Amino acid sequence: MNGITSHLSRFPQSLVVTAWLIVLDILLLRGQYVAFLRPGFAWILVLAVAILLGFLWVNGDKTRIHRFNLAEALRLVILLLPLLYLANVQGQSLDSYAFANRSLGLPSLAVTNAPPNLVQRNDPDDTTLYEITLANLYRDPQQFTGRRIRLTGRYHPGGESTQNLGPHVCMVFRFAVNCCAADATPLAVLANLRPGDVNVEENDWVDIEGVFRIRNQDGRSIPMLDHATLCKAPEPQRPYLF
């Protein structure tokens, strides 16, 4: 009788550990972990799977006496809470609410020698359209100055931060992740749209195209797209930049 009771008392633990194993396997096999973790850190989840398998092995030791009580039940409930959170956030990514709370007003580039306002590249024959990401733009903004570029991001109307720059200025943003979504940094570019060209809503994913400039304002280098056009776009498979 004691053996049956001891075996049943281990069942809730085994159930929770098995649930974690299933979720981690799904995240790894489907690549869904990139919704909150840098791809290069997949080994952390692999390590977690190995540790959980170790817990299962220890929990199956029939010689070990185990009694299920209220404290044990509370621990198991706490272990289940992250799984409920993961189930709730699947398919979601940081949006304009997070952007408004993490950004510091107008976007700014780290340019060693800030060029004059709206610098143009002296290469009128270069009509190439450069399809890049905001991460590419922030790493080497001067490379794309005066060139026509296209990138993907979320649409943001700008609000108070852009009202002094013109009636048709908006922002397109995306988050860059160093480690995980908790440290995601917003990257954005201003866009001077053609009148009547806004047919999207806040938070919509868009492809935006325009001539890239670096605008010098109050000692800051502001990234901007002139003569910009945008259209709705599907959400990228990986919403974050790495």
Residues 191 and 149 sit within 8 Å (Cβ to Cβ): no
What does the pLDDT read at residue 6? 47
Structure tokens at 14: 């085994």
The residue that leads in pLDDT, 189 or 111, is 189
Q: Taking the model in full, what pTM does it have?
A: 0.72
What does the pLDDT read at residue 180? 81
Number of domains the chain contains: 2
The CATH code of the domain that includes 188 is: 2.40.50.140
* Triad 218, 224, 226: Cα angle to 5°: 125
CB atoms near residue 79 (< 10 Å): 14
pLDDT at 205 over 90: yes
Q: Are residues 56 and 6 in the same domain?
A: yes
* Domain around 31: 2-89
The whole-number average pLDDT for the span 51-75 is 70
Q: Are residues 77 and 104 in the same domain?
A: no
Q: What is the pLDDT of residues 94-153, one digit of tens each?
A: 888 888 888 777 787 765 554 444 344 445 556 788 999 999 999 989 889 999 999 999
Pairing of strands 148-156, 169-176: antiparallel
The percent of residues in the chain predicted with pLDDT above 90, rounded, is 21
Residues 155 and 174 sit within 8 Å (Cβ to Cβ): no
Answer whether residue 238 is part of any domain: no
Answer whether residue 240 is part of any domain: no
Residue where a domain terminates, one of 89, 114, 147 = 89
What secondary structure letter does DSSP report for 68? -
Q: Are residues 49 and 165 in the same domain?
A: no
CB atoms near residue 86 (< 10 Å): 17
